Chain A
Amino acid sequence: MHELGIVKHVIAQAEKTAEENGAERVLKLTLEIGEVSSIVPSYFTDCFEWAKKKTRLMRDTELEMIILKAVSYCTKCKNTYKTTEHAKICPYCKSAETYLVTGNEMTIKDMVIE
């Protein structure tokens, strides 16, 4: 449950960018969040809706969260598989020599300003 801390950083960076670009307000903010990034989207949204009211430029900002699927790659058999179903162990060859290709993203993608 660290969503509020992350929301604080997201808002600070978005407001700074908005100010640098001479915006009067931020209409929309889009984030890319990996499925296994440890952010719970519903908690994040609740925290964002609360925190944005305390800002100058983001009181009415719409938040969009694009959820990216988690995919792991096995270095033994060269297959990819769904991380959320099989975690660290490759379902094809049972090797543990696997790594996450996508799924831990926590990125501010873009924002629409006016």
Chain B
Amino acid sequence: MGKVRTILLNQSVLADNDGEAQRLREELKEKGTFLINVMSSPGAGKTTLLVGLINRLKEHISAGVMEADIDSDVDAVRVAEKTGCKSIQLHTGGMCHLDAQMTRQGLEGLDGLPRLIFLENVGNLVCPAEYDTGAHLDAVLLSVPEGDDKPLKYPLVFQKCGLVIITKTDAGDYFPFDLQKCIRNIRLRNPRADILPVSAKTGEGMRELSEYILNKINGKEKT
């Protein structure tokens, strides 16, 4: 029998992921690449928004997309076809989120780093919030049909993000969605988050969002 010892750790269960994410964030910063982690529930309009955004941004900067889904490559194909930018599909193999290691593998598959990369996380408001991907900006989409009370039901993702994009504002006439109430609910969870309402369909708010992202890339970055 060997000697029995107790080792004190007192470290987060995700400390290894947090460390890897921080390393990745710094490496990307050195290489001049800005990574945005895009999270939302399934069907909030992540892919449509990214297509619209990239088509506005691509005259200013090079962009790429990593699509994470449990299966299929429909999103990666759609983004590549509609924007002409680099796009790859990551399969999480049943996992409901991406972690920093999976993000790194995806980046290696991109074949060269553009100035801006969107990481379209798995459609899920619960698990992706727990895992730091190494992104410089965490953005959450909340679509009008989902309801203005979503931040109350899924607190963590709204608490951790830096930007909330309210999507599908063109559907406002058809749903009992109160924008001011929604903003108050987001503020309850996160007094510092930036909030931008957009419609990728009509283009409303898309110019402001594009400028916001360009400013983020050229200015203050999460360190």
Within A84-114, which residues are at the interface with B (CB < 8 Å)? Answer: 88, 96, 106-114
| Number of interface residues, chain B, beta carbon within 8 A | 29
Would you call A9 and B13 a contact (CB within 8 A)? yes
Would you call B4 and A113 a contact (CB within 8 A)? yes
Would you call A107 and B8 a contact (CB within 8 A)? no
Instruction: Check: A27 CB closer than 8 A to any chain B CB.
Output: yes
- Give the distance in Å from the alpha carbon of A5 to the alpha carbon of B129 in the complex: 13
B residues in contact with A21, CB < 8 Å: 5, 7
In the complex formed, the residue of B with least CB distance to A28 is: B6
In the complex formed, the residue of A with least CB distance to B15 is: A13
A residues in contact with B70, CB < 8 Å: none
- Residue-by-residue, is B176-193 near A (CB-CB < 8 Å gives 1, otherwise 0)? 000000000000100000
**A interface residue count range (under 10 / 10 to 19 / 20 to 34 / 35 or more):** 20 to 34
Q: How far is the CB of B154 from chain A (nearest CB, A)?
A: 10
Would you call A24 and B2 a contact (CB within 8 A)? yes
A residues in contact with B131, CB < 8 Å: 5
Would you call B188 and A6 a contact (CB within 8 A)? no
B residues in contact with A111, CB < 8 Å: 6-7, 9
- Give the distance in Å from the alpha carbon of A12 to the alpha carbon of B95 in the complex: 17
A/B interface sample: 7 pairs, CB < 8 A: A9-B14, A9-B99, A38-B130, A108-B10, A109-B8, A110-B8, A112-B7
